[in-house]
Structures are given as structure tokens and as C-alpha cells.
Amino acid sequence: VNSTGYGLTAGFESLDEREWEYFHTHIEAGNIYINKPTTGAIVLRQPFGGVKKSAIGLGRKVGIYNYITQFLEIKQEDFD
């Protein structure tokens, strides 16, 4: 998995807690699932995005409350 250029989501099923820990600390992915479905990020509770070619820039991940703020530029204009 880590040898690919992508890293959006990874998941696996296991009852062995040692495998959970290894997977969690060694897999390069934006979202990691253990014993759960690998689709359906929860909006406003779980950021959605990846690493490597699965990411867009260094900004915030889609799904978190302040995602849109990275695209805003605050200006003040006075009109007479």
C-alpha cells in the first residue's frame, strides 16, 4: 500500500490488537479504518482527504468546519 503514489483510505479486518497497532502506525493514508467500512466519511465530524497524490495542497481536509476559510481573503473597502 505505501509503495503507491496515493493514500486516500486504507482499512482491514482483524481481531488481533497487535495488527491494529502495526497497521495504524505504518500505513500512509488520510483515513484509516480498522474493522469498519472504508467509505462514507462523516461530514463535520471526520475530515476527508488523503496523503501523497490523494491530497490537494497542504490545506485543511474537506469535512471539517473551517475547510472553506482557506479559500477566503478578507478585505475592507470604503464606499463614499
Could you give the number of structural domains in the chain? 1
78, part of any domain: no
Query: Does a structural domain hold residue 25?
Result: yes
Query: Which residues form the domain of 46?
Result: 6-71
In this structure, is residue 79 part of a structural domain? Answer: no
* Residue 15 within a domain: yes
| pTM exceeding the 0.75 threshold for the entire prediction | no
Residue 28 lies in a domain: yes
Q: Is 49 exposed, middle or buried (0-12, 13-18, 19+ CB in 10 A)?
A: buried
* Residues 63, 44 contacting (CB under 8 angstroms): yes
> Along the 80 residues of the chain, how does pLDDT read in single tens digits?
789 888 888 899 999 999 999 998 999 887 888 998 877 666 556 556 677 777 666 555 665 556 666 677 878 888 87
Tell whether 24 is covered by a domain: yes
